[in-house]
């Protein structure tokens, strides 16, 4: 008889559907083929002019219908596309999902193109006064909807027939992992048998790029875009802004097996710990990230020796990679030098609000396929970071469990532990 409860007596949470979109393509098949062949999705920016910009490359998703329509429409399409793939794989009703929705998505703002067009549709007054006057004369809700933080989730709830009030959340670059964590927790509390967790980010606008650039967070290695993201390398100089989405259908193992669903993996543990040190930097001793990793292991009921692989946050910023190494080496001790730790971001860049969900999707595939995607562009190792980053080429390996890290501005640290089998 299968045990449906975990080590703390809570329902075991299974994954029964996975969807993903990145700059490498739509869907698991294309993404996995590219990822395991070490292909980069980073390319020159063509969506807007790059005059005056220090960074002129990105991992934008340029091949969807909404790719040029602004952050809100693109984020919706990314979320919808990934969720569609995940729900279809789960064989649940794609119009009547019947569980709650947790959406990690970027904060919304009125798009500059809309700002310009509203402003220039009139000549009276100036600045905000003019915008407000034009705004109240609008007859359509389209522009308004792009400025409401709950609208994307509202549309997704309509599209998939999710239950109740959808939760839209942001924990910065940990958002995707938090969306999954919220789904896991809802199932564990017995509030539902299934949940749809999505991380989606289509917000790579000029202003977003400039904001990160002003914080010196972005790589400026523009000349060979596919070489710019080089996590754990000595000459890493920032992350590459990117877009994408990941979606998981989460179900209690009991409900999944009862309806004969294929179990793709187990969401075994989640851990988090906030950092109070600084808005963008981690506490120098790494204690919050260390606590988040340990909390995830404890929640999963696994010892540190039972983790086979780490899907790193690995952004390719000088700060993150150094701190992530410090945290991992503190938790895993000497073993860290010989355990595989790779960064998907070397190929897809940093998909921000989506990253935790995209990387959870890839972590689950890593276990299912027994193939670890590489960290590419690892030509010049940072001697201060001794890790087996699975350099440049995929590796065949039995992977029974994965730790996936997500760390974000505002002291956000969220870690997920996934397993191939229920026990």
Partner 1 sequence: MSSPRDVVITGIGLVSSLGEGPDAHWQKLAQPGLQPVLEAARFAPYTVHPLPEIDWNLQIAKRGDQRQMETWQRLGTYAAGLALDDAGIKGNDELCTTMDMVVAAGGGERDEAVDAAILAASESRNDRDVLLNEKLTTELRPTLFLAQLSNLLAGNISIVHKVTGSSRTFMGEEGAGVSAVETAAARIRSGQSTHVLVGGAFQTEHSDMLLGYELAGYLHRGPWKPVWQRQGAEGGGVVSGSGGAFLVLEQREHAMSRGRKIYAELGPVVSGRARRTRGELDAEIATLLSQAALPNGKLLAMSGASGAHAATSVEKTALDANPAISARGFSTLTGHMKEAQFPFAVALAALAVDRKAAYPVFDTAAEKPFEGIPASVLATAIGYHQFEGMALVKSA
Site size for partner 1, by CB under 8 A?
77
Closest to partner 1 by CB, 10 vs 227, is 10
126: contact with partner 1 by CB under 8 A: yes
411: contact with partner 1 by CB under 8 A: yes
298: contact with partner 1 by CB under 8 A: no
5: contact with partner 1 by CB under 8 A: no
319: contact with partner 1 by CB under 8 A: no
As annotated, the active-site residues are: 173, 313, 350
Q: Where are the beta strands (DSSP E) in 222-291?
A: 244-252, 265-272
Per CB under 8 A, the list member of 29, 33, 37, 49 interacting with partner 1 is 49
Residues making up the chain, counted from first to last: 423
Per CB under 8 A, the list member of 274, 281, 306, 333 interacting with partner 1 is 274
In the structure encoding, which two tokens stand for residue 184, read together?
A: 């896991």
194: contact with partner 1 by CB under 8 A: no
220: contact with partner 1 by CB under 8 A: no
Kindly tell me the sign of the dihedral angle through the C-alpha atoms of 404, 354, 262, 7: positive
Per CB under 8 A, the list member of 3, 63, 277, 392 interacting with partner 1 is 277
Per CB under 8 A, the list member of 52, 124, 303, 423 interacting with partner 1 is 52
Per CB under 8 A, the list member of 30, 154, 254, 369 interacting with partner 1 is 154
237: contact with partner 1 by CB under 8 A: no
Per CB under 8 A, the list member of 85, 226, 275, 321 interacting with partner 1 is 275
158: contact with partner 1 by CB under 8 A: yes
- What is the full DSSP assignment across 187-217? HHTTS-SEEEEEEEE----HHHHHHHHHTT-
Burial track 272-297 (b if 16+ CB lie within 10 A, e otherwise)? bbebeeeeeebeeebbbbbbbbbbbb
Rounded Cα gap, residues 195 and 153, in angstroms: 14
Strands 309-311 and 401-408 turn out to be parallel
Closest to partner 1 by CB, 201 vs 382, is 201
Question: Which residues in the 71-90 window bind partner 1 by CB under 8 A?
Answer: none
Closest to partner 1 by CB, 357 vs 399, is 357
48: contact with partner 1 by CB under 8 A: yes
- What is the full DSSP assignment across 118-136? HHTT--SS-HHHHHHHHHH
124: contact with partner 1 by CB under 8 A: no
Q: Which distant-in-sequence residues (6+ apart) come within 8 Å of 44 by Cβ?
A: 50, 56, 57, 222, 225
In the structure encoding, which two tokens stand for residue 240, read together?
A: 């590459």
CB of 64 to partner 1, least distance (A): 20
CB of 410 to partner 1, least distance (A): 3
CB 319 within 8 A of CB 326: no
């Amino acid at each position: 008889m299968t045990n449906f409860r975990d080590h703390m007596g809570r329902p075991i949470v299974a994954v029964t559907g996975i969807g993903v979109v990145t700059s490498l393509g739509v869907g698991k098949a294309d993404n996995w083929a590219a990822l395991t062949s070490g292909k980069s999705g980073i390319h020159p920016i063509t969506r807007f002019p790059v005059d005056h910009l220090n960074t002129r490359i990105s991992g934008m998703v340029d091949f969807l219908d909404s790719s040029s329509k602004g952050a809100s429409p693109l984020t919706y399409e990314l979320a919808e596309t990934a969720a569609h793939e995940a729900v279809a794989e789960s064989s649940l009703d794609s119009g009547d999902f019947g569980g709650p929705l947790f959406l990690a998505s970027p904060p919304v703002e009125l798009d500059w193109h809309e700002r310009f067009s509203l402003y220039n549709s009139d000549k009276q007054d100036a600045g905000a006064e003019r915008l407000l006057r034009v705004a109240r004369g609008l007859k359509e809700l389209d522009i308004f909807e792009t400025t409401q933080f709950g609208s994307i989730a509202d549309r997704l709830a309509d599209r998939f027939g999710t239950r109740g009030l959808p939760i839209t959340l942001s924990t910065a670059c940990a958002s995707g992992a938090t969306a999954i964590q919220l789904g896991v927790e809802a199932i564990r509390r017995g509030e539902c048998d299934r949940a749809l967790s999505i991380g989606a980010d289509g917000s790579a606008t000029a202003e977003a790029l400039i904001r990160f650039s002003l914080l010196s967070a972005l790589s400026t290695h523009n000349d060979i875009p596919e070489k710019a993201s080089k996590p754990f390398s000595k000459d890493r100089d920032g992350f590459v802004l990117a877009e994408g989405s990941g979606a998981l259908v989460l179900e209690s193992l009991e409900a999944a097996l009862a309806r004969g669903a294929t179990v793709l993996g187990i969401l075994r543990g989640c851990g988090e710990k906030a950092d109070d040190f600084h808005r963008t930097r981690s506490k120098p001793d790494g204690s919050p990230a260390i606590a988040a990793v340990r909390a995830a292991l404890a929640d999963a009921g696994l010892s540190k020796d039972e983790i086979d692989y780490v899907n790193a946050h690995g952004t390719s910023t000088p700060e993150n990679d150094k701190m992530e190494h410090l945290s991992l080496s503190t938790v895993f001790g000497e073993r860290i030098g010989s355990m595989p730790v790779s960064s998907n971001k070397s190929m897809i860049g940093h998909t921000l609000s989506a990253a935790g969900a995209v990387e959870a999707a890839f972590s689950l595939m890593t276990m299912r396929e027994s193939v670890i995607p590489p960290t590419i562009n690892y030509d010049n190792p940072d001697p201060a970071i001794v890790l087996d980053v699975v350099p440049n080429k995929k590796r065949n390996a039995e992977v029974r469990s994965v730790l996936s890290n997500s760390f974000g501005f505002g002291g956000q640290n969220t870690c997920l532990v996934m397993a191939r089998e229920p026990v």
